Every structure is written in structure tokens, then in C-alpha cells.
Amino acid sequence: MAGETTANDATRAISQTPPRIWLNARIATMAPDREGLGIIEGAAIAAEGGRIVHVGDAADLPALPDAERIDCEGRWITPGLIDCHTHLVFGGDRSHEFELRLAGASYEEISRAGGGINSTVTATRTASEDALVTASLARLDRLMADGVTTVEVKSGYGLAADAELKQLRAARRLGGLRHANIVTTFLGAHALPREFDDKDRFINVLVQDVLPRVADEKLADAVDAFCEGIAFSPAQCERFFKAAAALGLPVKIHADQLSDLGGAALAARLGALSADHLEYTSDEGAAAMAAAGTVAVILPGAFYFLRETHKPPIDSFRRHGTPMAVATDCNPGTSPLTSLLLAMNMAATLMRMTVDECLLGVTREAARALGRLDRVGTIEVGKQCDLAIWDIERPAELVYRMGFSPLHARVWRAQ
């Protein structure tokens, strides 16, 4: 299961972590049993063995005689932020295509002309695993500078067994090199690689050859597919997802980004953890997702970078009670973004999400989108002690600023 390649390192680290207490803090717990951000002022957090053992009044702290005590001097604490949708591991860059788009070409035109995802596939196939790790670490460090403690990382730039496995192994290695939880997703059905001319045949190969190897080596915590005209049809995605479900792998889906193919409804029908992008999702799709508990992951970085104008139906999600998360979609083609704080600003400015929706969207709801709400995403007793401590006066500052991180300290499993 999740992160097992790195869990040994992590477990070792935790057993060496002394008890710690943070005092005199303003805490946005994000706990669902409280209103809004679940704010407790003038409060304390205690952790033992890397887990939270107390949140609330300092007078009620458990006896932890050896605990290190940290005075937060009135600073705000949120859960460590969660970037629940990234393509962090890839080779090369696509600045040349950026120039083509500035000269008038569209993303779909570039993709149909053989550029797009496939140019990153070539660069990723030729890169060594070590080179992928080095390039991705630089991006991970940028995310962490915004208080991120959990990052989902997708494959999808290998599109052949060895190259996909290489990407997933590189992703897993990141968790052993930094104090962060890395959650991996096998995005097998991302694009049709150049050596194939038939999408159904490619899905056959994924299902018969690649997926069993990914599952065997426990390299993925979930699977994903790009359901779109330039990628795979709902029926092709469904075939891939059913094979994954038979191996116990939960589903996420890139849905309705450029057109409405009914991806949101497909996600709901399959009980997906999340459906992501959703610019063209219908009101029925939003309702189906709410009923299934599938999280809508809003990706304003791609919307901005592609200069899209068709917004995801935020009002429908609100009305139906569809949970909403926000993520960077960090990838070389449509969202070269490594700031989750800026992603929140874009979600507010471009999509009119509220400050509370944005902040819950990078904590509690992002955890839900990863199936990790039992471990991370809120500051509650029993959860991993992953925190971000901020030099701010109000939580809205985290959404309001552009290109500035007021992070004071980042805590991962109480370290």
C-alpha cells in the first residue's frame, strides 16, 4: 500500500521523534465537526511518536515530561498542505511549445501535430531514474516551501512498461529523500504513444502487461486516465479502471477538461476517489459526484496556462455538496506551476472559490481526494502530525498573496 518503499525510513524517523508541544497558536484545524476552518485560538498541539495526541486548550495537555515545547507566539497553524494532483516526475520541459502557443497554436493543435504529451514522453523515456529524481526534487522543494507535506505524483510520461515503472520508482524515491508523504498514481492511459495507432490495442497492453507489473511491485496507490477526445474515450477508460479495481487499486480521472464526455458521471459510477479538471462538467455530473462522494479537484493552473474561459461549475458543486479540492497539476505542458499557494489564489480569482473552500481544498478535501483522510488533512487527535506554521494575521492571507510564502516552519510527522 501507500508509500511502503519509503515507510521504513519514515517509521525509523518517527520512533526517534521526541514528544513535542506547540503552544500559544491560532489553529485552523479543518476538522469536519467544527464550522468553516475549525478555528481554535490561543491553543496547543501535542504530538507523540509522530502523531497528534492533543489539540485545544493548553490546560488540558497530557503529561509529556520530556516534550520539547515550542512557543508559536500567536502564529497560525494549519495542517501541512496537500497537493493532490501533480505530474511532478518528468524529463525535459516544453518551453518551446509555450512559444508556439504564444504565436497562436492551440494545445490541441500541438498535441495532434505530435508534440504535447508525447514530446515529454520522449524526454522521460531517455532520462535515467536518477536524473528524473534530481529534476523532480527541485520541484518538490518548491512545493514544500509553501508548507506542503503530502504530494500526489502521477506517472503517464513513460507509456510503456519499463518507462512507467521507472517514473513510479523515481516518485517513490522522493519520499525517502525529503520529509514529505509521496502518494503515487499510475496514469497509464494518459496519451497514445507514437508507436501505437490503435487506442483499444494500447488499453489491452496496459491491462495485460503494465498494470499487473505496477500492482506486483506495489508502485501505485491509485490509477488515473485522461478521458478526452485527444486521449481516451469513457469506454476505454472504464476498461482500464475495471482491471485496476480488480487489483484493488482505486480510481482517479482527468475528466471534462476540454469537452464534456461525461467523465464526471463515469467517475461517480465507478466510485472514483476524485475527478479532476471538470471545466465542462454538467450539473448532472456534479450531482452524481456528490452522491458518490467523489471529490472535484479544481486545477486553475492549467485553466490559466491554456487561457481557458469555460469555468468548472463551482456553483453546481456547491449546490450539490460535491467536495472540492485545489491542486497545482504541476506538469510541463499545461501547468508548470510549483506553488500550491498560487493555485489557491487562482482558484479564488479565476473560479470564484471562497477562501474557506480554497483552504479546505488543499487540506481536508485534498486528503479525501487521495483516500488519506484517516491519516492527514486535518489537525485532529490520532492523525499524523503534519503542520504548517505561518507568519500571517488571518488565514485569508494564504489565498490573497501572489508569489510569496509566509511559511514560518513546516512540520512532518512531528519533526
Residues near ligand DI6 (CB under 6 A) are 116-117, 120, 190, 226, 254, 257, 302, 329, 331-334
Q: Which does 334 bind (CB under 5 to 8 A by kind): ligand DI6, Fe ion, none?
A: ligand DI6
Angle, CA 377 vertex, CA 83 and CA 65 arms, to 5°:
125
For residue 291, which amino acid is it?
A
332 binds, options ligand DI6, Fe ion, none, Cβ within 5 to 8 A by partner type? ligand DI6
Q: How far is the CB of 395 from ligand DI6 (least distance, A)?
A: 29
Q: Which is nearer to Fe ion, 226 or 412 (CB)?
A: 226
Number of residues that bind Fe ion (CB under 5 A): 1
Give which of ligand DI6, Fe ion, none residue 115 binds (C-beta under 5 to 8 Å, depending on kind).
Answer: none
Q: What's the CA gap between 82 and 96, in Å, rounded?
A: 30
User: What are the grid coordinates assigned to 210, written together?
Assistant: 503494465
Question: Smaller CB distance to Fe ion: residue 221 or 329?
Answer: 329
All residues at 6 or more sequence positions from 70 whose CB lies less than 8 Å from its CB, including other chains: 20, 21, 22, 23
Residue with the CB atom nearest Fe ion in the bound state: 329
Cell of 100: 508556439
Least separation in angstroms between CB 88 and ligand DI6: 12
CA distances from 109 to 116, 183, 230 (A): 9, 32, 10
CA distance 340 to 411: 17
Q: Which does 240 bind (CB under 5 to 8 A by kind): Fe ion, ligand DI6, none?
A: none
Distance CA 46, CA 155 (A): 37
Find the shortest distance in angstroms from Cβ 332 to ligand DI6.
Answer: 6
* Bridge partners, 28 (sequence order): 39
Residue closer to ligand DI6, measured from CB, 29 or 184: 184
Per the CB < 8 A criterion, the answer to whether 67 and 53 are in contact is no
Which one, 252 or 364, has the nearer CB to Fe ion? 252
Task: Give the other-Cβ count within 10 Å of 8's Cβ.
Answer: 11
- Report the C-alpha gap between 143 and 128 in whole angstroms: 23
**Residues 278-317, mask of contacts with Fe ion (x by CB under 5 A):** ----------------------------------------
Decide whether 156 or 313 has the Cβ nearer to Fe ion.
156
Tell me whether residue 190 or residue 320 sits nearer to ligand DI6 (CB atom).
Answer: 190
Kindly give, in sequence order, each residue whose CB lies less than 8 Å from that of residue 41, ignoring residues fewer than 6 positions away.
Answer: 26, 27
Residue 136 contact among Fe ion, ligand DI6, none, beta carbon within 5 to 8 Å by kind:
none
Q: Which is nearer to Fe ion, 327 or 376 (CB)?
A: 327
CB 87 → Fe ion: shortest distance, Å? 6
Q: Smallest gap, in angstroms, from Cβ of residue 57 to Fe ion?
A: 42
Is the Cβ of residue 281 or residue 331 nearer to ligand DI6 in the bound state? 331
Of 117 and 223, which has the nearer Cβ to ligand DI6? 117
CA dist 210 and 390 (Å) reads: 43
Which of Fe ion, ligand DI6, none binds 153 (CB below 5-8 Å, type-dependent)? none
Residues 6+ apart with CB under 8 A from 12: none
In whole angstroms, give the CA distance from residue 264 to residue 253: 8
The site string for Fe ion over 315-334 (x = CB under 5 A, - otherwise) reads --------------x-----
Please state the closest distance from residue 300 (CB atom) to ligand DI6, in A.
12
Q: How far is the CB of 300 from Fe ion (least distance, A)?
A: 12
118, 191 in Cβ contact below 8 A?
Answer: yes
83 binds Fe ion (CB under 5 A): no
Which residues are CB-neighbours of 234 under 8 A, at least 6 positions away? 227, 261, 262, 263, 266
C-alpha distance from residue 311 to each of 29, 59, 350 (Å)? 30, 48, 8
Residues in contact with Fe ion by the rule CB under 5 A: 329
